[in-house]
Amino acid sequence: MTDRKKVTLPSLMRKMADGSPITMITCYDYAMADLVEKAGIDIVLVGDSLGMTMLGYAGTLPVTMDDMIRHTQGVRRGSPMSWLIGDMPYMSYQPSVESAIRNAGRFMAETGCDAVKLEGGAEMADRMAGITRAGIPVMGHLGLTPQSVSALGGFRVQGKDAAHARKIVDDARALEEAGAFSILLEMVPDRVCALITERSSIPIISLGSGPQAHGQLLIFHDMFGLYPRFKPKMAKVFGNAGEVILNGLKQYVAEVTGRQFPQPEHWFGIDDGQMDELKRSLGE
Ligand code: KIV
By percentage, how much of the chain surpasses pLDDT 90?
94
Per-residue CA distances from 60 to 67, 68, 87, 170, 187 (Å): 11, 11, 11, 26, 17
- Site to substitute for ligand 1 among 27, 50, 87, most atoms within 8 A of C-beta: 87
Per-residue CA distances from 252 to 136, 263, 265 (Å): 47, 13, 16
- Do 56 and 171 share a structural domain? yes
- Do 255 and 144 share a structural domain? no
Ligand 1 centre from 47 Cα, in Å?
5
pTM of the predicted model, to two decimals?
0.95
Average confidence (pLDDT) over 253-276: 98
The number of folded domains in the chain is: 2
- Do 189 and 131 share a structural domain? yes
Average confidence (pLDDT) over 39-54: 98
Q: Is 186 a catalytic residue?
A: yes
9-25 in b/e burial notation, b at 16+ Cβ within 10 A? eeebbebbeeeebbbbb
How many H-runs (helices) and E-runs (strands) does the chain carry?
Answer: 12, 8
Residue 107 phi, psi dihedral angles, 5° rounding = -55, -50
**How far is Cα 253 from Cα 241, in angstroms, rounded to an integer?**
18
The answer to whether residue 83 sits within a structural domain is yes
Q: Which atom of ligand 1 is nearest to the CA of 219?
A: 3
- Do 118 and 46 share a structural domain? yes
- Do 229 and 114 share a structural domain? yes
Helix (H), strand (E), coil (C) string for 210-227: CCCCCEEEECHHHHCCCC
| Better-scored residue on pLDDT, 149 or 118 | 118
- Do 102 and 212 share a structural domain? yes
Residues 6+ positions from 35 with CB-CB distance below 8 Å: none
**How far is Cα 106 from Cα 136, in angstroms, rounded to an integer?**
11
**Of 35-49, 153-167, 197-211, 256-270, the least confident:** 153-167
The answer to whether residue 120 sits within a structural domain is yes
- By residue range, what is the domain housing residue 141? 9-239
Per residue in 68-88, pLDDT tens? 999 999 999 999 999 999 999
The answer to whether residue 4 sits within a structural domain is no
- Do 173 and 149 share a structural domain? yes
- Do 253 and 176 share a structural domain? no
Query: Can you give the CATH number for the domain in which 40 is found?
Result: 3.20.20.60
- Site to substitute for ligand 1 among 67, 184, 187, 218, most atoms within 8 A of C-beta: 184
For the chain, state the CA radius of gyration: 23
Q: Which atom of ligand 1 is nearest to the CA of 60?
A: 1
Residue 141 phi, psi dihedral angles, 5° rounding = -145, 115
The answer to whether residue 1 sits within a structural domain is no
pLDDT band for position 243 (cuts 50, 70, 90): very high
- Do 267 and 141 share a structural domain? no
Please identify which of the residues 177, 186, 243, 255 carries the catalytic annotation: 186
- Do 221 and 272 share a structural domain? no
- Do 214 and 199 share a structural domain? yes
Task: Give the pocket of ligand 1 (CB within 6 Å).
Answer: 26, 45, 47-49, 87, 141, 184, 186, 207, 219
Ligand 1 centre from 146 Cα, in Å?
8
- Do 123 and 30 share a structural domain? yes
